[in-house]
Amino acid sequence: MNAPRVMRYQSADELSEGVAHRLAHNIVMMQQNQPRVDLCLTGGRIANQIYGRLGNASECGQVDPEKLHVWWGDDRFVPAGDPDRNSLQSLLQLSKAFHLDPANTHVMPAADGRADPDEAAYSYAEEVGDTIFDICLLGMGPDGHVASLFPGHPAFVPETSQIAVGVDDAPKPPPQRISLTLPVINRSRRIWFLVSGGEKAEAVSRVFAGDQSLPATLVHGTEETCWMTDPDAAGGLPRYNCSL
């Protein structure tokens, strides 16, 4: 397993701008050497800021939409047009940066198309299959949750053969969600954590202290695991753990 790397940006704004350029650059470079790129997106404030700034990256004009497949690590089980949908928020920002091929855009099923989160998760699992994400973007909550895998919740099973799970009674609203499982996240080549804000600092410290009760502690990519933070989120880490 590769050791996690921490990249501490000087502010949340610098994080958003820097990761946007880094993401566009990596997509373009990978597209030059492989037939397709699979990118798994996350929701949340800092992630949407990054998507919104992709248009500032000069490399965006070189992205080939036919070779880019976009997925989501989790979503809220609400109607398709609900503004709480991670995919709706993400696509609104991404559409400002570059065109996405609808055939390659894999959104999770919405509540007005499936009976319950379990059925929706099963459908998404069929679509994901054996896909391996080249880059998987993840946020982390103050409780150390990733995607919609919450510590102590029945849906969080570190070792499972399931690809996606339905989540009921989530501790964070809305209560019904769909999430990829930890084994599917961990088969990603590159994991990029996007973490901003002082309310995340304690959880970040616990992750790097090896607290196995937090889902985020158990996440790692097969080639790279990188934590991209602002100073507030990384405030509890020794300076030698942080580099740019």
What is the domain range of residue 45?
6-71+90-139
In a domain, 47, yes or no: yes
Question: Does residue 10 form part of some domain?
Answer: yes
Number of domains making up the chain: 1
Residue 94 within a domain:
yes
CATH number at residue 13: 3.40.50.1360
pLDDT in tens, 204-239: 999 999 999 999 999 999 999 999 999 999 998 876
Tell me how far CA of residue 31 lies from CA of 23, 62, 63, 67, in angstroms.
12, 10, 8, 7
| pTM exceeds 0.85, yes or no | yes
What is residue 58's predicted lDDT score, i.e. its pLDDT?
Answer: 87
Is 128 within the bounds of a domain?
yes
Distance in angstroms (rounded) separating the CA atoms of residues 60 and 1: 31
* Residue 243 predicted with pLDDT over 60: no
d(CA 132, CA 123): 17
- Mean per-residue pLDDT over the chain, rounded: 94
- Report pLDDT digits (tens) over 113-149: 778 999 999 999 999 999 999 999 999 999 999 999 9
Q: Is residue 145 part of a domain?
A: no
> Is residue 46 a part of any domain in this protein?
yes
* Residue 1: pLDDT band with limits 50, 70, 90: low
Q: Which residue has the higher pLDDT, 156 or 242?
A: 156
In a domain, 169, yes or no: no
b/e map of 225-243 (b: 16 or more CB within 10 Å)?
A: bbbbbbbbbbebbeeeebe
Residue 11 belongs to some domain of the structure: yes
- Write down the pLDDT at residue 237: 85
